[in-house]
């Protein structure tokens, strides 16, 4: 407006009044957002309450695409995309004229534009008609009346779990509170899914779909839920079960509040733990259930087990041992093949037992079935077995740590076979079920072995004789092809990549299209490494020597010449290499190609300018000073990420089995890259096995169960990672360091010093000035958790990363590690006597007697 029109400058009392109100009230409300609603006060749509610490906000919102208005609570910082409680999910205000108020009778009410009550806290007659409501920094909205809290939002949960909530089963009234999913992202009305504790007091958490079980957590053992795979006590925040006998209410809670975390039962029926990623500005899913398929309640039916496929989407169902499909009907249930002895003799006075005694069949790695019965009394496994055997209705038992004797007297439902972790489960079967298998072994195995060996031998001779000419021809063809490739690279056909060609298909050339992993000709490798000249030798690992090379185009490479005893054929080797070459991650050394010449197999990697980590952390020179705390921490993080990729995110799910400082290479910007992964596969043991004849590893890094029993899992890698972490922080080698003052090895003394708050004593003296004691202490704490003696007590790599990266976790205290670093000095067991030592700190390969 350019000028004031004098004609219109008449005094307008209404305008003046509203301006006055505006100027009078605005500064006051801006200075301090209100967290309280007092008697008679009205919170209109558009205004909000904010908790005193600025964490939560309460007001009207419209979810998703909806235009309806609901009263809800959300994270102040994340706005209405994070609504975690809704007052009036089924009775929204249809426009923006609604309000929240304390009514004349002291109740909290949501009103529409015409002041009709849409929702109320419905408390009946209150001591006084003057109530106050307040939004707290816990996210709880509380209504006080005459000095007492008469109503709170925590007692009426929506879909989100917050610390401080006591949602559970009231043991007096038997009322079970549950979380309820929204109907959809646009509609907070109750959906089909609810979540809460099991009403039978079995200390499990359930998700129900329209009242039918959809997922269960398995029993709580005091530290973890037994039915959640790989849940370790260090699992985020640590849930706890309250003292329900004292409280007369059973609920789980967690205490550590963090506004960057949410536990939400989503409209699709999946409970998700979401964490805010500050760098990418979104909520990422840290954990979700039920995922995979076998986690869906009783996915495979009663008396059957469910085993997940690699992608988790196509599970395999099988009958329990000793059970069979009804009349061979593959969709019907499974029933017992041979009745139990006690069943047969029941009510038969003449029989006197009849037949052999029932026995127990051990199943390992099981998500224990539902409907177990906690049998108070037995104090060890054999008493538990006895208790089961003497009760004819007992179908199975398990002796679980932290719980005791569990027996199953009803149906066996919801059995998931975990790929790692899980419990031992003893299934009761008729005695004859065992005899059959024993007789089978005794009677037939030898005959079968002899026969099949004979058949194989004759067959092989026959084939060789028949195909002799064909094999020779193939071989000649291969050699010729290799020569021609050398020629092509020499004549500059492919200058930049010198000597690289596509893989030769050993059978029919070019039929499946060219795979994308380059095969180097032997000639090209020889040229690049100056015929494997000793001056190009970078080092010697457990799998063979590594040479530096330079391709004609100028690119540096590292060539690993595999020792000959890999026991793999050419074809197998090629397949493994192609698989491994597909693993790509910034913290893994990239495989560029491979080379085969007769027995000679070589892997070609990118060359890492700064070589291996042990050349820095264990060095006496200035190289050690180069690594300040910041750099060491980022190296630790990088290794953890690379390992997580191998364990969880890559298609192959690889267990490294020989993680150590000399297998961590550093590029020119000191980024760590894991090398030698996939070796276990190349050397002929399937990554899915849980035990192996061939123990590959390095003393000082091997987990107890691996070194002594040959058992390995991702948790063995976690152990090695823990050792490596402590080596990086301390600058000392686990295999050689001994603290004579404390009479302890590196791990033992790290634990002791850390436990006594002497953290800086653990830290490498060259970087004591550059590090923050908090960070380094947290780091050592994580390292110590990784080297726990029992694999189950160690965290997974994903928890390791979360713990490393978050500042305010209260980590559980690790127990003292007891496993000696150098098992070769502490009593030789039979399996180490035939070990083959390569050198002091090199990998060993040994055959253990399993
Ligand atoms: C909200 O965000 C601000 C700025 O990003 C931050 O300083 C504050 O700590 C956050 N508050 C909470 C409770 O996370
Ligand atoms: C409470 O009740 C008294 C007496 O009935 C009444 O005078 C007063 O206005 C009421 N207060 C409110 C906030 O409604
Ligand atoms: C409401 O009552 C609780 C105790 O019952 C008290 O801690 C809280 O401060 C009260 N709030 C208000 C706003 O009076
Ligand atoms: C709830 O289940 C019923 C019956 O299975 C189905 O018709 C309905 O679409 C489901 N509702 C939601 C929100 O998924
Ligand atoms: C998150 O990022 C913002 C800016 O992007 C920053 O101000 C804040 O401190 C970060 N918060 C945390 C917890 O790192
Ligand atoms: C197999 O069992 C299912 C479920 O019990 C039943 O519906 C079906 O008719 C059976 N099929 C045959 C061929 O018996
Ligand atoms: C499971 O096996 C038991 C024992 O044979 C049998 O009584 C029961 O009917 C079976 N359940 C189902 C659902 O087939
Ligand atoms: C009782 O046991 C005897 C001997 O084992 C057997 O012959 C008979 O059939 C059984 N009777 C019943 C009712 O199971
Ligand atoms: C046998 O087991 C069932 C449950 O499996 C239990 O209810 C019953 O009390 C047990 N009987 C005895 C004598 O222990
Ligand atoms: C909350 O969690 C985030 C992400 O995990 C982490 O960065 C932050 O440090 C945590 N804050 C507190 C107070 O624990």
pLDDT tens digits for 455-495? 776 666 656 555 555 555 655 554 444 443 333 333 333 33
Residue carrying structure tokens 């039918």: 212
Phi and psi at 708, nearest 5°, equal: -95, -35
Q: Is the CB of 412 under 6 A from ligand 9?
A: no
Top mutation candidate among 137, 162, 259, 260 for ligand 10, by most atoms within 8 Å of CB: 260
For residues 17 and 41, give the distance between their C-alpha atoms in angstroms, rounded to a whole number: 21
Write down the pLDDT at residue 573: 80
Helix (H, G, I), strand (E, B) or coil at 135: strand
Query: What's the pLDDT at 837?
Result: 30
pLDDT at residue 315 greater than cutoff 90: no
Q: What is the pLDDT of residues 692-741, one digit of tens each?
A: 445 567 778 888 888 777 777 889 999 999 999 999 999 999 888 888 88
Residue 504: predicted pLDDT: 29
Nearest ligand to the CA of 260 is: 10
Tokens of 740: 């004579």
Handedness of CA 709, 715, 716, 722 (dihedral sign): negative
Distances in Å between the alpha carbon of 616 and those of 266, 611, 777?
48, 9, 22
Q: Given this model, what pLDDT does residue 562 score?
A: 85
User: Does any ligand 3 atom lie closer than 6 A to the CB of residue 148?
Assistant: yes
Is any ligand 9 atom within 6 A of the Cβ of residue 374?
Answer: no
Whose CA is closest to atom 13 on ligand 3?
A: 134
Confidence label for 194 from pLDDT (cuts 50, 70 and 90):
very high
Alpha carbon distances (Å) from 19 to 2, 9, 24, 182, 486:
21, 16, 8, 43, 89
Who has greater pLDDT, 812 or 616? 616
pLDDT of residue 32: 53
Q: Which pLDDT band holds residue 787 (cuts at 50, 70, 90)?
A: very high
User: Is residue 183 lining ligand 4, measured as CB closer than 6 Å?
Assistant: yes
Q: Which two tokens stand for residue 611?
A: 């070589």
Among all bound ligands, the one having the nearest atom to the CA of 275 is 10
**40 has a pLDDT exceeding 90:** no
* Whole-number average pLDDT of the chain: 78
**What is the C-alpha separation between 221 and 253, in angstroms, rounded?**
15
CB 587 within 8 A of CB 645: yes
Tokens of residue 845, six digits: 């390969």
- pLDDT value for 846: 39
Q: Which of 303, 325, 328, 331 to mutate to test the pocket of ligand 6 (most atoms within 8 A of CB)?
A: 331
Q: In the chain, where does the domain assigned CATH 3.30.200.20 lie? A: 492-607
Residue 689 or residue 114, greater confidence: 114
How many residues appear in the chain? 850
Q: Report yes or no: 580 and 534 within 8 Å, Cβ to Cβ.
A: no
Would the CB of 329 count as within 6 Å of ligand 6?
yes
Q: Is 192 in the pocket of ligand 4 (CB under 6 A)?
A: yes
Mean pLDDT confidence for 498-508: 30
Task: Give the β-pairing of 415-417 and 304-307.
Answer: parallel
- When comparing pLDDT for 308 and 442, which is higher? 308
CA-based end-to-end distance of the chain: 93
Q: What is the mean pLDDT of residues 749-756?
A: 89
The answer on pLDDT for 832 being more than 90 is no
CA distance linking residue 631 with residue 636, whole number of Å: 9
So what's the pLDDT on residue 619? 85
Measured CA to CA, the distance from residue 254 to residue 340 in angstroms comes to 45
Task: From 340, 343, 354, give the residue whose CB has the most ligand 8 atoms within 8 Å, as the site to mutate.
Answer: 354
Coil vs helix vs strand at 533: coil
- In the chain, ranges of CATH 1.10.510.10 domains: 611-850
Cα(823)–Cα(705) distance, integer angstroms? 12
The distance between the two most distant Cα atoms of the chain, rounded to a whole number of Å, is 120
Nearest ligand 3 atom, CA 142: 1
Task: Find tokens 């009510």 and name the residue.
Answer: 347
What are the residue ranges of CATH 2.90.10.10 in the chain? 33-156
Report residue 179's pLDDT band, with 50, 70 and 90 as the boundaries. Answer: very high
Q: Give the pair of three-digit tokens for residue 744.
A: 């302890």
Predicted pLDDT at 243 = 76
List, in order, residues 6 or more apart from 112 with CB less than 8 Å away.
Answer: 93, 94, 97, 98, 118
Rg (CA), the chain: 34
User: What is the Cα–Cα distance from 533 to 672, expressed in whole angstroms?
Assistant: 27
Return the residue whose CA atom lies nearest to atom 11 of ligand 8: 348
Angle of helix 629-644 versus helix 773-786 axis, rounded to 10: 30
Indicate which residue of 370, 414, 658, 676 is catalytic. Answer: 658
Instruction: Give the residue among 53, 23, 29, 22 at the shortest CA–CA distance from 43.
Output: 29
pLDDT in tens, 538-577: 887 767 889 999 877 677 899 998 877 666 677 778 877 8
Residue 824: per-residue pLDDT = 40
The string of DSSP codes covering 777-815 is HHHHHHHHHHT-SSGGGSPPHHHHHHHHH-SS--PPPPP
Angle at 110 between CA 108 and CA 111, to 5 degrees: 125
690, 364 Cβ separation under 8 angstroms: no
Give residue-wise pLDDT tens across range 336-387: 888 888 777 665 544 444 567 888 989 888 999 999 988 877 777 888 898 8
Establish whether residue 407 lines the binding site of ligand 9, counting it when its CB lies within 6 angstroms of any ligand atom: yes
Question: What mean pLDDT do residues 324-346 have?
Answer: 76
**Which pLDDT belongs to residue 446?**
57
Write the DSSP symbol of residue 554: S
Smallest CA-to-CA distance from 68 within 210, 183, 192, 193 is with 183
Band of the pLDDT at 516, cuts 50, 70, 90? Answer: low
pLDDT surpasses 60 at 36: yes
Q: What share of the chain is helix, strand, coil (3-state, %, to 5)?
A: 30, 25, 45
Q: For position 459, what pLDDT does the model report?
A: 65
> So what's the pLDDT on residue 509?
31
What pLDDT band is residue 391 in, cutting at 50, 70 and 90? confident
Quickly tell me which residue has 């390969």 as its tokens. Answer: 845
Which position has the token pair 């007769």? Answer: 598
Which position has the token pair 């060539």? 559
User: Distance between CA atoms of 580 and 439, rounded to whole angstroms?
Assistant: 43
Q: Which residue has the tokens 């079980």?
A: 213
Pocket of ligand 1 (CB under 6 A): 55, 77, 259
CATH topology of domain 492-607: Phosphorylase Kinase; domain 1 (3.30.200)
Q: Work out the percent of the chain whose per-residue pLDDT is above 70.
A: 77
Backbone torsion region of residue 131, taken as left when φ is above 0, otherwise alpha when ψ lies between -120 and 50, otherwise beta: beta
- Model confidence at 507, in pLDDT bands (50, 70, 90)? very low
Q: What tens digit of pLDDT does each residue of 646-689 get?
A: 988 777 788 888 899 999 999 988 999 999 887 777 765 544 44
Cβ atoms of residues 677 and 583 within 8 Å:
yes
Q: Which fold has domain 611-850?
A: Transferase(Phosphotransferase); domain 1 (1.10.510)
The more confidently predicted of residues 525 and 498 is 525
What was the pLDDT predicted at 823? 44
Output the six-digit token pair for 777.
Answer: 């202490």
Q: Is the pLDDT of residue 48 over 60?
A: yes
User: pLDDT digits over 225-243, tens only?
Assistant: 888 886 655 444 567 787 7
308 given a catalytic annotation: no
For the residues 287-306, what does the mean pLDDT come to? 87
Strand segments (E) across 368-509:
372-375, 396-400, 404-408, 415-417, 423-429, 500-501
For residue 453, the SS3 value is helix
- For the ranges 462-476, 608-622, 749-763, the lowest mean pLDDT is seen at 462-476
33-156 belongs to CATH 2.90.10.10: yes
pLDDT at 666 (0 to 100):
94
Closest residue (by CA) to atom 12 of ligand 6?
329
40 touches ligand 2 (CB under 6 Å) = yes
CB burial of residue 355 (10 Å; 0-12, 13-18, 19+): middle
């Amino acid at each position: 407006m350019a000028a004031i029109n004098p004609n219109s400058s008449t005094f307008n009392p209404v305008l003046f009044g509203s301006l006055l109100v505006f100027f009078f009230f605005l500064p006051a409300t801006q200075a301090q957002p209100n967290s309280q609603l007092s008697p008679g006060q009205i919170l209109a749509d558009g205004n909000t309450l904010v908790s005193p610490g600025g964490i939560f906000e309460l007001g009207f919102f419209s979810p998703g695409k909806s235009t309806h208005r609901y009263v809800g609570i959300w994270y102040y910082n994340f706005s209405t995309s994070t609504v975690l409680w809704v007052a009036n999910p089924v009775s929204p205000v249809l426009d923006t004229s609604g309000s929240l108020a304390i009514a004349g009778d002291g109740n909290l009410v949501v009103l529409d534009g015409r002041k009709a009550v849409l929702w109320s806290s419905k408390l009946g007659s209150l001591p006084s008609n003057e109530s106050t409501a307040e939004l707290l920094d816990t996210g709880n909205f509380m209504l006080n009346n005459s000095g007492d809290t008469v109503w709170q939002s925590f007692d009426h949960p929506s879909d989100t779990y917050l610390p401080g909530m006591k949602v559970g089963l009231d043991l007096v009234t038997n009322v079970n509170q549950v979380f309820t999913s929204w109907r959809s992202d646009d509609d907070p009305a109750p959906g089909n899914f609810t979540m809460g504790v099991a009403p039978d007091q079995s200390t499990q958490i359930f998700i129900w779909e329209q009242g039918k079980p959809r997922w269960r957590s398995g029993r709580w053992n005091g530290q973890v839920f037994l039915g959640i795979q790989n849940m370790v006590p260090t699992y985020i925040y640590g849930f706890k079960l309250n003292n329900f006998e004292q409280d007369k209410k059973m609920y789980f809670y967690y205490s550590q509040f963090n506004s960057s975390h949410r536990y939400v039962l989503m409209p699709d029926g999946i409970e998700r733990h979401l964490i805010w990623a500050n760098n990418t500005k979104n909520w990422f899913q840290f954990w979700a259930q039920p995922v995979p398929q076998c986690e869906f309640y009783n996915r495979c039916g009663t008396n059957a087990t469910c085993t997940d496929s690699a992608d988790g989407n196509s599970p395999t169902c099988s009958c329990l041992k000793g059970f069979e499909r009804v009349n061979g009907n593959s969709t019907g249930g499974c029933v017992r093949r041979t009745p139990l002895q006690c069943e047969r003799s029941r009510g038969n006075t003449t029989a006197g037992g009849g037949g052999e005694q029932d026995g127990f069949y051990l199943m390992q790695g099981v998500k224990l079935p539902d409907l177990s019965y906690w049998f108070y009394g037995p104090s060890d496994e054999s008493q538990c077995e006895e208790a089961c055997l003497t009760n004819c209705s007992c179908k199975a038992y398990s002796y679980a740590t932290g719980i005791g004797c569990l027996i199953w007297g009803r149906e066996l439902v919801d059995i998931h076979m975990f790929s790692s972790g899980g419990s031992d489960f003893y299934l009761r079967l008729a005695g004859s079920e065992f005899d059959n298998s024993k007789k089978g072994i005794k009677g037939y195995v030898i005959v079968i072995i002899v026969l099949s060996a004979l058949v194989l031998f004759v067959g092989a001779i026959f084939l060789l004789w028949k195909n002799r000419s064909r094999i020779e021809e193939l071989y000649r063809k291969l050699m010729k092809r290799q020569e021609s490739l050398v020629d092509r690279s020499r004549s500059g056909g492919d200058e930049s990549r010198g000597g690289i060609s596509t893989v030769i298909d050993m059978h029919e050339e070019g039929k499946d299209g060219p795979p994308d992993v380059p095969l180097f000709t032997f000639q090209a490798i020889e040229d690049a490494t100056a015929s494997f000249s000793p001056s190009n030798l970078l080092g010697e690992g457990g799998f063979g020597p590594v040479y530096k090379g330079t391709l004609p185009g100028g690119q540096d490479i590292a060539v690993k010449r595999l020792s000959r005893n890999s026991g793999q054929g050419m074809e197998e080797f090629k397949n493994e290499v192609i698989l491994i070459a597909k693993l790509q991650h910034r913290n893994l050394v990239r495989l560029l190609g491979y080379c085969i010449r007769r027995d000679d197999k070589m892997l070609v990697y990118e060359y890492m300018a700064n070589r291996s980590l042990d050349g820095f952390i264990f060095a006496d020179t200035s190289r050690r000073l180069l690594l300040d705390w910041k750099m060491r921490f980022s190296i630790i993080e990088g290794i953890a990420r690379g390992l997580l990729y191998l364990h969880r995110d890559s298609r192959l799910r690889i267990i490294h089995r020989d993680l150590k400082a000399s297998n961590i290479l550093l590029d020119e910007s000191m980024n760590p890259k894991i090398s030698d992964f996939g070796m276990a596969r190349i050397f002929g043991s399937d990554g899915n096995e849980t035990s192996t004849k061939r123990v590959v590893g390095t003393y000082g890094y091997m987990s107890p169960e691996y070194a002594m029993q040959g058992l390995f899992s991702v948790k063995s890698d976690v152990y090695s990672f823990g050792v490596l972490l402590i080596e990086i922080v301390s600058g000392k080698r686990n295999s050689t360091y001994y603290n004579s003052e404390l009479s302890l090895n590196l791990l033992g003394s790290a634990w002791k010093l850390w436990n006594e708050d002497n953290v800086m004593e653990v830290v490498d003296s060259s970087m004591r000035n550059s590090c923050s004691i908090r960070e380094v202490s947290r780091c050592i704490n994580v390292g110590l958790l990784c080297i726990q003696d029992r694999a189950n007590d160690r965290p997974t790599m994903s928890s390791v990363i979360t713990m490393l990266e978050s500042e305010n976790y209260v980590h559980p205290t690790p127990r003292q590690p007891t496993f000696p670093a150098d098992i070769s000095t502490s009593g030789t067991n039979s399996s180490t006597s035939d070990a083959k030592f390569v050198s002091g700190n090199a990998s060993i390969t040994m055959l253990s007697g399993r």
